[in-house]
A and B are shown apart, each in its own frame.
Chain A
C-alpha cells in the first residue's frame, strides 16, 4: 500500500510502528493530521508521533498520566516522507532528519556508556 491508496484510518494506520529508511525503529503513529473541509476531499497530510498526540484520543485525566510517564512531545511526519504503509509504516528518509529521536537522545544523557557486554 502506498500513501496515495485509500486507507481505513483507524483500523489500518493508527498505532502502527514506524521505521525509517535505515530500518531504525522511530516510534508509533499516534495520530494523523488531515486537510480538507466541507465539499473538499479529505486528505492525509501528516502522521503525528509522540505521546503529546494522544490528546485528541483520550480524556484529560489519562493525558496527565501519560505526560507523567512519557512526556508530551509531538513530532510531525509529512506524508511525502512516507514510503509504504502495511503492517508497519516505512519512511523514505532517516528519522533524525524529521526530529524523531529527540526524546531518546535526551534520555541518553542520563545513561553512562560502559560496563555492558
Chain B
C-alpha cells in the first residue's frame, strides 16, 4: 500500500477531501490549524473547487458549514477546543435541526495546555448536544473515520464530532488512502419544520433527538472504532481515544495480559461496556482529557470497582503518557536520569525585530505618567508581552475579552482603561465589544496591533487588517480624530509615546492602530519571491 506521511490533523483533511467535502470552514487555532492549511494547499481540493479560505471566527465557520449541509453538500468545520465555546450556540442548535448533507465538526483539544488557556474536553459538548462523537486513536484511523463520520452524519441526519488531542493532531505517521468519493449534488431541502426552531418545531425536533439515542448506542456497538482486546485477569481497562495507545504500549512493554476495551465512538457501546464490567472486578478508565466517563461509571455514590483520574490512579489533570498508564497498571517504573540542575527554562519570546516589541516599549513609557497600570490583552503573539522584559499586559482570557474587560473596568472608574489585541482577534470577537464601548461612550483606548496576519498559529490570512480596520472602527462610530495609526519602529518611539499618551488621557473611545507587518510573514514572502524569481 502506498502510504503518505501525514500529521493527524492532515489525515483528517485528506480523509475529508476523499470523502467528498465541498467546503471546509475554520478559524486557526493550535492544534487544529493544519487541517484547513492542508486543504488550502491541496491540488485536488483546488481542482474540485473545495471552498477553504479562513472564516472570521468559529461561529461564522460553523454556521456556514451548516448552510452548506442544508444545501445538500458535505462540509467540514474545524476548530480548537476553546473555539467550540464560540461556536457552541450554532453547534447545539444544529443538533436540534439536524443536517442534510454530512456535517462533521473536527475539534482538537489541548490537554496539558501546550498552546491554550484551558484543557476542556470536547466530548462533553458531544454529550451536551447528544450527537455522535468519534475519537480515533491513530492517524490511519483518523483518515478512515472521516468516511465513517460523513456516512454516519447523513444516515442519522446529525452533525458528527471528530475529536482529537494534541499528540495525535501533531504527530506524523504513514497513512494509506482509499478511492476518493464524488461530492454530493446540490439538493437543498425544503423542511421549515426542522430548520425553523420556533418552540413548536424545536420541541418536536428535540424529542426526535432524544428518540435517536438508543439507535446511536447500537451504532457504537458495531463501530470499527470500538474494539475489545482479549485478555485475562481481574483488572480490565477501558481505553478512550489515544488512551488506547498508551495502554497497549504499556501492555506490550511490560507483558501485561489485561482485557482492554478500546473506545473510539460515542455514545458508549452499551453491550461492550457491560461485557467488560461483567468480566472484571476492577476497571481502569483511561481518558485523554477530563474523567467524563469515569465519573459516569462511578456514579454519585461511587463505585469501588472503578479506577482512574478521580482516585489518583492517574493524575487528575494533564495529558497521559505510557509511563502514567504503566504505573496505574501496577508496573514499577525505575527511576531514570534527572534533568541536571543547571538546565534553566527557555520560555517562548517575541521574535527579534517584531513590531510588538516596539509597541510594548511605547505602551510602557506612555503608562508611566499614570498611577494605575492595567492593560487588558488578548490571545495572540502579543500575549508574550506578559513576560519580561515587557511585563506590559495584565490579562488574557478569551478571544476579544480585552476590549470588553477594559470597558467594564472603565465603567468601574479605572483610568486609563487600555486594551491590546491583534487584527485577527479584533475581527474574530473585538468588533462587537467596540460597539458596546461606543454606545456607552466608555473611556477606553483600544490598541490594535495590526501585523496583517494571524501570526501565532503560523501566519494565516487575517479577516480584517490595514484600511479595513480603520473603516470598521469608523463604521462602528469611533470618532475620526480618535482613530490613530502609528508605526511601531524604534525611530518612531517618541512620536508613538506621544500619540498613546494623548489617547490614554482622552475621555472617550479611541483606537490606536499599531501597524507593521509580521516579520515572519515578511521573510516568508521574500523567500517565496526569491524562489519564483529563480
A-B complex is real: no
List chain A positions with a Cβ less than 8 A from chain B: none
